[in-house]
Copies of this chain bind each other. A is one copy, B any other.
Amino acid sequence: MDLDRLRSFVVLAEERHFGRAAERLRIAQPALSRQLQVLEREAGTPLVLRSTRSFELTEAGDLLVERARQLLDAVGRTEQDLRLLAQGRMGTSSVGFVGTATYDLLPRVARLAHTELPGLDLHVHGELLAPALVQGLLDRTYDVAVTRPVDPGRGVRTTLLRRERLVAVLPTHHRLAGRERLTLPELAEETFVMHPSARASSLTEVVLAACSDAGFTPPGVVEVSETSTLVVSVAAGLGVAVVPQPVRTLSLEGVRYVSLRGAPTIDLCVAVRADDARPATRRVVELIGRSVAQRR
């Protein structure tokens, strides 16, 4: 049984006339006659009782029209679903965000995906650390990671999303909180609130390296886990912090963000499994790129 012939048969049953049906099918009338003959040979019974002035479907013809419609519908739906899948507009994708991107990028990505890829079942996870993200990518917990640069070669493909300038976070009552900008050495005597270095926070590494470059080591350090907690801790007066600029979206009572002159930067990347060619993954990566470009 051939789908094209079934299509022809359905049109023929609708038109009840070989000439008109052939015209609609954009084939010549004899071709349609032959198609029906083939169908009837396959069915083993006439499907249409036809003469020059009459046209009637047999029982078998009735049955076949109905079934053909159902079949062709099912084929159409399958083709449609394949197309959606091929465009990454259907399926599932799990995205993990490194801590500092959780409050800035994650909601934008979620919103954009909701409107642009309604068929995609997108799972987002925030407040993660770079090593956990890489591990999560490899063990398929995540399909996409918005993370700090990772050493390549471990089956992960990485693209730079943006370069983030670091800014200081000070309690409102801090003596430097009114300043337009300051330099890292001015914070040499402060207690720093940071992510635990044991848990391999890229941000902590970069900040400590920057301090070291600036000629000092923070005299005191308070360790907290999440970025949100970090900002809250500064508000509570536990110390100061240095975070990437986009964390500013997390504006909090009792906290001031102050630019750092000659500030170091930290890169934000999107990473995927090197062997992942899923359209959904491509689509999500592309959408994350646009979320980053999106100025707001």
Chain B, Cβ-Cβ closest to A45: B86
Q: Does A213 contact B (CB under 8 A)?
A: no
Digitize A61-93: 1 where CB-to-B-CB distance is under 8 Å, 0 elsewhere: 001100110110011001101110111000100
For chain A, residues 39 to 76, give those with C-beta under 8 angstroms from any C-beta of chain B: 42-46, 49, 58-60, 63-64, 67-68, 70-71, 74-75
Q: Check A85/B59 contact, CB under 8 A, given A2-B3, A3-B3, A74-B74.
A: yes
Is the pair B279, A45 in contact by a Cβ cutoff of 8 Å? yes
Copy number in the complex reads 2
Please name all residues of chain B whose beta carbon is closer than 8 Å to the beta carbon of A74 when the two chains form the complex.
67, 70-71, 74
Number of interface residues of A (CB under 8 A): 33
Q: Check A60/B86 contact, CB under 8 A, given A78-B71, A79-B1.
A: yes
DSSP class of A's interface residues: helix, strand, loop or mixed? helix
Q: Does A198 contact B (CB under 8 A)?
A: no
Is the pair A83, B44 in contact by a Cβ cutoff of 8 Å? yes
Is the pair B58, A82 in contact by a Cβ cutoff of 8 Å? no
Is the pair B82, A45 in contact by a Cβ cutoff of 8 Å? yes
Chain B, Cβ-Cβ closest to A4: B2
Is the pair A91, B59 in contact by a Cβ cutoff of 8 Å? yes
Is the pair A64, B78 in contact by a Cβ cutoff of 8 Å? yes
Is the pair A278, B75 in contact by a Cβ cutoff of 8 Å? no
Complex Cα gap A78–B278 (Å): 36
Beyond A1-B79, A59-B280, A60-B86, 4 additional contacts (C-beta under 8 Å) are A43-B83, A60-B85, A64-B82, A71-B71
Residues of A participating in the B interface, judged by any CB pair closer than 8 Å: 1-3, 42-46, 49, 58-60, 63-64, 67-68, 70-71, 74-75, 78-79, 81-83, 85-87, 91, 277-280
